[in-house]
Amino acid sequence: MMLLRYRGREGMLAWAFHRIAGVAIWAFVVLHVVDIYLVGGNPGAYNELLKIYASPIGRVLEAALGAALLYHALNGLRIILMDFWPALTRWHRELWYVSWGIFVIVGVPVGWIILKPIWEGVPR
Amino acid sequence: MSTRYSRVGRPRPAGRGLELAIWFMMRLTGLGLFVLALTHFMITHVLYDPAEQTASWIAQVRWSSLFWRVFDWLLLMLVLFHGFMGVRTVIVDYASGRARRVLVIGLYLIALVLFVLGTTVVTTLPVVPKA
């Protein structure tokens, strides 16, 4: 994969993931504001769409959305730290690994909770 | 002071103009979204399950208080700045000339539509007291 062969290594990957996650979150926000508008405008249509959100495919996409959101949030903090304390840029790689550590610690339990109804068969 | 060559986000623009203000606002709204967006996601995916979030649930539970309506509207405002200025940066990176202008104008139009839709529903959805 080109992304992994490129010489930029961690710094470049951190940037690429940040951008991909950001655009993905943006796309969901566009959908989400429209679907919430339907709560007032057409509740029946909203409730139909909600069934897709609660379906197995919907849950996988929500877990992916949560992962994008969490990565973008943590890496965004890393960016802010380095922008305002440039000396920290020296540790940009270590900071990236720390953000992945937090990502796993927070993300795995949350992902489990979102996905669990798929194999348990019943929504909570 | 910060290095022009950046390993991180968008390099801080030179000068004191609008672009620098947007650069600062991206970071400020980012911090706000760290709290608001993650809280919103936790409420809608951990505290509650998507399966129970019907239209009546939103009217009776989620938006039953002014606090949560203001919270979600503030979240929308931060997203409309952060998300749309972020995508603008992406457009400016990959498109130029006429294509860039058309895409950026289209982007702002989408933001305007979302502002109207989101503000309308959060301010007009009737509060239904929980039975």
Q: What confidence tens digit (pLDDT) does each residue in A12-31 have? A: 899 999 999 999 999 999 99
Which of A25, A26, A48 would best serve as a mutation to test chain B binding (most B beta carbons within 10 A)? A26
pLDDT of residue B32: 98
User: Is position A43 within any domain?
Assistant: no
Exposure pattern of A70-106 as b/e (b: 16+ CB <10 Å)? Answer: bbbbbbbbbbbbbbeeeeebeebeebbeebeeebeeb
pLDDT at residue A121 is higher than 90: no
pLDDT of residue B131: 60
pLDDT of residue B11: 80
Q: What percent of chain A has pLDDT over 90?
A: 77
Alpha carbon A21 to its chain centroid, in Å, reads 6
**C-alpha distance from A29 to closest chain B C-alpha (Å):** 8
B32: which chain A residues are within 8 Å (Cβ-Cβ)? none
pLDDT of residue A48: 95
User: Is position A31 within any domain?
Assistant: no
* Cβ distance of B1 and A117 shorter than 8 Å: no
Structural domains of chain B, ranges and CATH numbers in brackets: 18-124 (1.20.1300.10)
* Cβ distance of A76 and B34 shorter than 8 Å: yes
Smallest CA–CA distance from A9 into chain B, residue? B7
| Both structure tokens of A79 | 């960016």
User: A70: domain range?
Assistant: 9-26+52-120
pLDDT of residue B105: 97
User: Is position A15 within any domain?
Assistant: yes
Low-confidence ranges of chain B (pLDDT < 50): 1-5
pLDDT at residue A2 is higher than 60: no
User: Is position A90 within any domain?
Assistant: yes
B3, B46, B54 ranked by CB distance to A86: nearest:
B3
User: What letter would DSSP give residue A36?
Assistant: H
User: Is position A44 within any domain?
Assistant: no
* Cβ distance of A110 and B46 shorter than 8 Å: yes
B84: which chain A residues are within 8 Å (Cβ-Cβ)? 26
Asked whether B123 and A39 are in contact (CB, 8 A), the reply is: no
The Cα A48–Cα A108 span in angstroms is 29
What mean pLDDT do residues A63-83 have? Answer: 96
